Amino acid sequence: MKQEKVVTYVRGATSKPHEISWITKKEDEEKWKEKEEKLSTMKSHLTLLILLSANVFCIKRTAKDLESQLYEDLLFDYNKVPRPVKNSSDILTVDVGASLIRIIDVDEKNQVFTTNLWLEMKWNDAKLTWSPQKYGGIKTLHIPSDFIWTPDLVLYNNAAGDPDITILTDALVTYEGVVYWQPPAIYKSFCPIDVTWFPYDEQNCVMKFGTWTYTGQYVDLKQLPKEQVVIEKSSTADEQVEGIEQGMDLSFFYLSAEWDLLQLQSKRHSVLYASCCGPEKYVDITYYFRLRRKTLFFTCNLIVPCFLISILTTFVFYLSDHKITFSISILVTLTVFFLVLIDLMPPTSLVIPMFGRYLITTMILVALSTVVSVITVNFRFRSGSAHKMSPWIRVVFLQFLPKILMMKRPEKNESTKQTSLIDPASLVGPSYANSAKAANDYRNEKKMSGPINHSNDVIKLREKPSSQAVLNNTFDMRMRNTESKVETKLKPFLCAQNNTAPTVAFRKTKKDKTKTMDDIVFVNLLNQVRFIAEHFRHNEMEGEISDDWTFVAMVLDRLFLIIFSVLNIGTVFIIIEAPALKNVEWPLNITVPNKPLGQANL
């Protein structure tokens, strides 16, 4: 409307040209104003864009440095020596758990139990809190454990190595001040080894953890997981006991090739001890391991070879020769097994191991078998001329025991049951009865060479040396009958020798003298043959007595074979009575892991 008025005015004011120039200037000013407004709008938009870009750049740069800034803010002027509590009178509670990774070794000789654990500890640190909004929403922070306060947890029954934690891993800290720390460690704890039933034994080992310098009024230890804790009855009023049936996490447990893990309990003990400043509470967490040895290795490498060697002692009694050598060889072999056992067992053992008792019993049996072998060898090689068999030995070992042991002597042949030697005196015929004088003359002729006394010869033959004493009565009577016959045949000659009047007169003819000399020679030959016959009879009887001694040795071998077989079977009961062989308890189950190893469940 205004523009229309101006135009109208201009048209109506043609007579006034100076007014037209004023209108043109006015339009130019309006155009400049519009341009200035556009420029200012563009400047404001550009400034806003620059500011927005600058804000985005600053935000990105701050998020990158917030974690470092938080780390510096938390540890600035942080003192890790005092307990991280707000008030010095507050009790700092530390939750303690563990994950069993591996049973490394059970050293029976040094009584050391070696394990690989991952400890799990949690506590509140009042100095390590922050606001997540202030630090870009950061809620957790990893801090090296040697820069903050950590509980001085040690293994009380440490046997070797460091009792405290040596591998210092990072601790995970939340904005609320909760600290999670899971350091791995290899512990060597003292474990009293009970070798009563080795190698079928069970061992009970403990690991006792507690703070080294703090009492229960300053640092209290609790068990993890808390929902499984069961309060138990204590034996005294000054002690509080809390237990967990499965005290360690077995999610990452590697099975042992030598031991089965039957039980793993944890117990928290809070005990009041008297001190100079009054009763003080001390807290510890103890883990109880019950292990059972896997028996396959020692059964195949110790028990079975030793049992087979002990069985060889029974075969000693089947040998006729080399008994003692064989027994000593077995004894030396068992000694080698005993040296292996000595190397395995602790030298301060208060009991004899089951395998040691078995070895000692077997060695005693082998030693006794050696002694018995000496006795049986002595009996086997006894001769009838040097050893007289007592009547009780004949009754016990030749009549009584063979029936019980089902032994029977081989019967003699019918041709050798009785002696069939012909009596030499029976060969003397009646034609030689009247030759006593001729025999006397012949002896007189032989006086230079010594008198021939046949009566003394007969008496000497009758009085046989000491070997005759071992003959039985039947044989003596037979000999006496034979001697009486010979004396009857030779009586004319004996009477002539003793200047006895002959019953028949001899004619001293050359023919009769020759006949008498033949009779004398025949009598001498008869005596020699009779001596030889007696010698054979004595050898036969001595052989029979030697055979009796040999049979006595065989009876002893059979008797001790049965005795030692029963004793060897009895030694097996030493092994069978081991409680571990009757224990059918299964090892603990390996649970499925619910988190990675070394990661805390927040």
Residues with Cβ < 8 Å from 578, sequence gap 6 or more? 197, 200, 201, 354
Residue 203 has what pLDDT? 94
pLDDT band at 505 (very low <50, low <70, confident <90, very high): very low
Q: What is the 3-state secondary structure (H, E, C) of 335-404?
A: HHHHHHHHHHCCCCCCCCCHHHHHHHHHHHHHHHHHHHHHHHHHHHCCCCCCCCCCHHHHHHHHHHHHHH
Average pLDDT on 469-481 reads: 46
pLDDT band at 285 (very low <50, low <70, confident <90, very high): very high
Best CA proximity match to 166, nearest among 154, 176, 178 = 154
Best CA proximity match to 208, nearest among 293, 282, 124 = 282
Distance CA 183, CA 150 (A): 11
The model's pLDDT over 148-166, given as tens digits with 9 standing for 90+, comes to 999 999 999 999 888 888 8
Residue 487 has what pLDDT? 52
Distance CA 552, CA 398 (A): 7
| Secondary structure (3-state) at 340 | helix
Q: Which of 129-138, 222-231, 443-452, 480-489 has the lowest mean pLDDT?
A: 443-452
Give the domains, in start order, of the chain with CATH numbers: 92-294 (2.70.170.10), 298-409+562-582 (1.20.58)
Residue 513 has what pLDDT? 55
The percentage of residues in the chain with a pLDDT greater than 90, rounded to a whole number, is 26
Amino acid residing at 490: L
112 versus 472: the higher-pLDDT residue is: 112
Distance CA 550, CA 546 (A): 6
Distance CA 135, CA 138 (A): 6
Residue 262 has what pLDDT? 94
Tell me 258's DSSP state.
S
Q: Could you tell me if 379 and 549 are in contact, meaning their C-beta atoms sit under 8 angstroms apart?
A: yes
Tell me 506's DSSP state.
P
| Secondary structure (3-state) at 39 | helix
The model's pLDDT over 24-64, given as tens digits with 9 standing for 90+, comes to 566 667 767 777 777 777 777 677 667 666 554 444 445 55
> What ranges in 76-190 are assigned the alpha helix state H?
none
Q: Would the pLDDT of 511 be above 80?
A: no
DSSP secondary structure string for all residues of 104-122: EEEETTTTEEEEEEEEEEE
Q: Would the pLDDT of 415 be above 80?
A: no
Residue 595 has what pLDDT? 73
Best CA proximity match to 271, nearest among 315, 196, 311, 220 = 220
Q: Would the pLDDT of 140 be above 80?
A: yes
Q: Would the pLDDT of 12 be above 60?
A: no
Q: Would the pLDDT of 292 be above 90?
A: yes
Average pLDDT on 243-269 reads: 93
Q: Could you tell me if 102 and 115 are in contact, meaning their C-beta atoms sit under 8 angstroms apart?
A: yes
**Cα–Cα separations (whole angstroms), residue 94 to 125, 157, 220, 226, 598:** 11, 21, 6, 12, 18
Q: Which of 120-134, 349-363, 395-409, 417-431 has the lowest mean pLDDT?
A: 417-431
Distance CA 76, CA 513 (A): 155
Average pLDDT on 445-450 reads: 47
Question: Does a cis peptide bond (omega within 30 degrees of 0) precede residue 151?
Answer: no
Q: Which two tokens stand for residue 23?
A: 């209108």
The model's pLDDT over 183-210, given as tens digits with 9 standing for 90+, comes to 999 999 999 998 889 889 999 999 999 9
436 versus 568: the higher-pLDDT residue is: 568
Q: What's this model's pTM, rounded to 2 decimal places?
A: 0.67
Q: What is the mean pLDDT of the chain?
A: 77
Q: Would the pLDDT of 121 be above 50?
A: yes
Best CA proximity match to 438, nearest among 515, 353, 324 = 515
Average pLDDT on 295-320 reads: 87
Amino acid residing at 265: Q
